Structure 1
Amino acid sequence: MQIWHMEPFPCGDRRLPHHVFPPKKITTTQLGQLAGVQYYKVDLDDTASMKKRLSAVKTEKNVTFTDMFTVSETMLEFDDKMEQFYEPQVQKEDVISLVVEGTCYYDVEPEDDSWIRVQVEKGDLIVIPKGLSHRFTTTPQNFVKIQRFFSRKVEGNQG
């Protein structure tokens, strides 16, 4: 996982890093303090360790439903979906995502117009707290497979 402050008004390709200049990286601890976002590294190759970590998160967050969500250029209406995912949104429950393959960005907005970009990759588990404005996009590879966790079954594709 890599985390940094984004430039205030990014223009051009959303899938690029959009660092402030000079780059201002932050740690997972700082991300937690600034935005309440939690991060866990999950070893997807160690089944016992993975099950233990996921079980703890599921219990703590009252998760009862999971799904697999793949974003790639082969999706129907890919560009429209990416526009939709990039629109800032606020959820009524925590957004919990484990990257199984690929890489993507979650942007979080702890203060108005102050965005922090979180690049997550295989094995990264991120918990964005309910009520925090956030958005989602891919990297230039346009591919990520995510396991999502919910406290109830949801309909449709939300980012």
Structure 2
Amino acid sequence: MRAYYFDNLPGDQRLPHDFNPSRPVDPDTLQSIKVESWYIPVEGHEDKLDGVAKERDYRNRDVIEISKNGLGDIYEEKLKGFYKEHIHEDEEIRYILQGGGFFDVRQAPSDQWIRLAVSAGDLLVIPAGIYHRFTVDERNLTRTVRLFKDEPKWSAIYRGTESESNPHRIEYIKSISVAA
């Protein structure tokens, strides 16, 4: 996984949107906002992924493929929904099996976007309460394992009054020692 500051320029969300020269984000910065990642080779990943699931108390998983072929006519609509800034009440844990994309996370308190470029073998944990969004890259394909504590679900709370007063957002801000 490669992390860098998003350039905020208009254009296709599937492009890298990297500054020139790039403005990389170091692991300490990611740790300060509670974003975790590591690499597990796809070949033979099952045991290591099972270990992560057990350690973090995840009981369920599914595999989602985001592609033009897989989603057909609703592909562009789904991409727009994933790319709308939101939070979740559970941490989001994703393991990339094929293809790739970008998770953008908001750095608090600066509110800058950090872009996380992920590809096959990358495992990413995004904490509950952090603003984020997702898009595929120019390959228009990602096949991803999603881990869940309970039944598989994807419930987004889009940025606004409701998200700012959400207890998971408030707890996240406290956990990174940023005044609300």
- TM-score normalised to structure 1 length: 0.88
- 2:173 maps to which residue? none
The aligned amino acid for 2:119 is: E
Residues 89 and 157 (structure 1), Cα distance of their counterparts in 2 relative to 1, 3 Å cut: closer
Measure, in 1, the Cα distance between the counterparts of 2:77 and 2:155: 13
Task: Give 1:100-111 correspondences, 5 Å limit.
Answer: 100-111=97-108
Larger-gyration structure (1/2): 2
Measure, in 2, the Cα distance between the counterparts of 1:85 and 1:72: 13
Aligned residues: 153
Residues 61 and 148 of structure 2 are in contact (CA less than 8 Å); yes or no, is this contact kept in structure 1?
yes
- 1:99 maps to which residue? 96
Q: CA deviation at 1:155?
A: 4.0
Unaligned runs of 5+ in 1: none
- 1:150 maps to which residue? 148
Measure, in 2, the Cα distance between the counterparts of 1:153 and 1:65: 6
In percent, how many aligned pairs have the same letter?
27
Determine whether 1:79 maps to 2:76: yes
Q: CA deviation at 1:147?
A: 0.4
Unaligned runs of 5+ in 2: 157-180
- TM-score normalised to structure 2 length: 0.78
Q: Which moved more, 1:138-147 or 1:74-83?
A: 74-83
Determine whether 1:113 maps to 2:108: no
Task: Give 1:1-159 correspondences, 5 Å limit.
Answer: 1-7=1-7, 9-33=8-32, 35-45=33-43, 47=44, 50-74=45-69, 75-76=71-72, 77-111=74-108, 113-155=111-153
Q: CA deviation at 1:52?
A: 4.0
* Aligned-partner SS, 1:148: strand
Measure, in 2, the Cα distance between the counterparts of 1:130 and 1:157: 12
Residues 28 and 39 of structure 1 are in contact (CA less than 8 Å); yes or no, is this contact kept in structure 2?
no
Which protein has the bigger helix share? 2
Measure, in 2, the Cα distance between the counterparts of 1:13 and 1:103: 16
